[in-house]
Structure 1
Amino acid sequence: MDKEYILIVDDEKEIRDLVGIYMKNEGYETIKAENGIKALEILKNKKIDLIILDVMMPKLDGIETCIKIREEKNIPIIMLSAKTEDMDKIIGLTTGADDYVCKPFNPLELIARVKSQLRRYKKLNIPQNFVKEGVIEIDDLVIDSTNYKVTVGKEEIKLTPMEFKILELLAENKNRVFSIEKIYERVWGEDYMESNNTVMVHIRKIREKIEVNPRKPRYLKTVWGVGYKIEE
């Protein structure tokens, strides 16, 4: 079985070393970087399965680093930050991060989130020989679950793993309305916490990518006071 590599990016050596110990105890290989510039260099030359990325760093912060990573790669990214305000979480997730953990963090929680993200990423990237063909077509929107590919018309749309899972869930259940709580529980596999804006942020990002006019969506509809759905 191939080793899974986790890139730990934080300007504090103590944090890098601490997270590295926890990850190695779970059987993961770790690579460390003290800033975003170094992290981007590592990603050019090394296969990385997941990134734990601090928000506040010198030279290139976590937000800008995440944006640059998402230009080419869809590997899971978990953001770390001492900030706890909802707006900071929204900004982090808007850049393409898949999850967000606040410092000081519970090591067991971080480990659980790492394992959860890696499980989902593997499911989205199973070789074609091992999955059944599955293509969902809704007008010009095509979701190819086999090859993890989304197109609108002839344009291929780049989605993060979590964005893809939300879109796939709604597309597989056309015309069925899912509440924010149900989407979170189905996609993240965890109990929904009140005041969690994660789903709404991801919905907004999906619309920005697949809709001609995100304010008047053609595909991903809001059912006010209830949730979201994709119509045939």
Structure 2
Amino acid sequence: MNRKILLIEDDADICDLVAIYLRREGLLVDIAPDAEQGLDMFRRNDYDLLITDILLPRMDGLQLVERIRRDSDVPIIFMTNKKTSQDIVNGLRLGGDDYVTKPFEPEVLVARVLAGLRRYQAGRGKGKKEEGKLWEDGWLKVHTGRLEVFVDNKPTTLPAKELQLLLLLLEHPNQVFSVRQLYEKIWSLDGVSDERTVMVHIHHLRKKIERDAAKPAYIVTIRGFGYKFGDTGKRS
């Protein structure tokens, strides 16, 4: 079945160019010129991935993503000419999975789209196959098959990339992953590691699952090397 992409961008030339490259990969592409129309289309259709600019008329891309994340964990890629670290952090914090900055090579955006689709579908398939696996201690509980997370016995919803990071680290206890390795495994892109993307997701994951995010016990930093999962619980 062909995957369906929603592209939200007010520059018609960029829309045409991106759509051409995505359709060459056999993807179906719908286009919205502003965030409000894009939100309406998203709610009326099933999309496998969303691409949105940040600077949009009427409602910006950050507000759009914040609304979408209330109901959906579909992969979201920001396409923006804003290059400051804070702009990127804000987008990822609100639930964005990845980003490209303008001007960009269309092939790079396509690679990120295909990677996002692969990871999203792999996560869905894994949940169907591994129904019964459970990791828990007195604070954190994770059903790796059902993709359910409980913190202090309360269900906790994680954006797709945060959940994928947690599952990857949890399933390889005490194995140290570099930032580049995490980026390649979660975002499925080789040779274009972006430390900001990984570190922002780790930061927000810690805030949600750790007793004290300033002194993490689960997502542990190994200075000069990367991150590992501090395995103190039990598996069943």
**What TM-score comes out, normalization by structure 1 length?**
0.90
> 5 Å matches for 1:165-204?
165-191=164-190, 193=192, 196-204=195-203
Tell me the amino acid that sits aligned with residue 82 of structure 2. Answer: K
SS of the residue aligned with 1:56?
coil
- In 2, Cα distance between the equivalents of 1:219 and 1:175? 10
SS of the residue aligned with 1:158?
coil
5+ residue gaps, structure 2: none
Divergent runs of 4+, >6 A = none
CA contact (8 A) 1:10 1:54 kept: yes
Which residue pairs with 2:19 in the alignment? 20
> 5 Å matches for 1:129-168?
129-131=128-130, 133-168=132-167
SS of the residue aligned with 1:101?
strand
- In 1, Cα distance between the equivalents of 2:123 and 2:197? 20
CA contact (8 A) 2:7 2:50 kept: yes
Structure 1 stretch 49-58 or stretch 139-148: which is displaced more? 139-148
Tell me the amino acid that sits aligned with residue 16 of structure 1. Answer: C
Matched, 1:110 2:109: yes
SS of the residue aligned with 1:197?
helix
Deviation of 1:151 after TM superposition, in Å, equals 1.6
CA contact (8 A) 2:128 2:146 kept: no
What is the Cα-based RMSD across aligned positions, in Å? 2.1
**What TM-score comes out, normalization by structure 2 length?**
0.88
5+ residue gaps, structure 1: none
SS of the residue aligned with 1:214?
coil
SS of the residue aligned with 1:78?
strand
- In 2, Cα distance between the equivalents of 1:129 and 1:165? 15
- In 2, Cα distance between the equivalents of 1:153 and 1:6? 37
- In 2, Cα distance between the equivalents of 1:195 and 1:24? 27
Q: 1:20 to 1:192 in 2, by over 3 A?
A: closer
CA contact (8 A) 2:5 2:50 kept: yes
Structure 1 stretch 178-187 or stretch 69-78: which is displaced more? 178-187
State the identity %. 35
Which residue pairs with 1:88 in the alignment? 87
> How big is each residue's C-alpha offset from its partner over 1:15-36, in whole Å with a ceiling of 9 and x where there is no partner?
2222222222211111111122
- In 2, Cα distance between the equivalents of 1:226 and 1:22? 37
Structure 1 stretch 172-181 or stretch 35-44: which is displaced more? 172-181
Q: 1:116 to 1:63 in 2, by over 3 A?
A: same
- In 1, Cα distance between the equivalents of 2:173 and 2:138? 12
Q: 1:14 to 1:205 in 2, by over 3 A?
A: same
- In 2, Cα distance between the equivalents of 1:59 and 1:35? 7
Which residue pairs with 1:11 in the alignment? 10
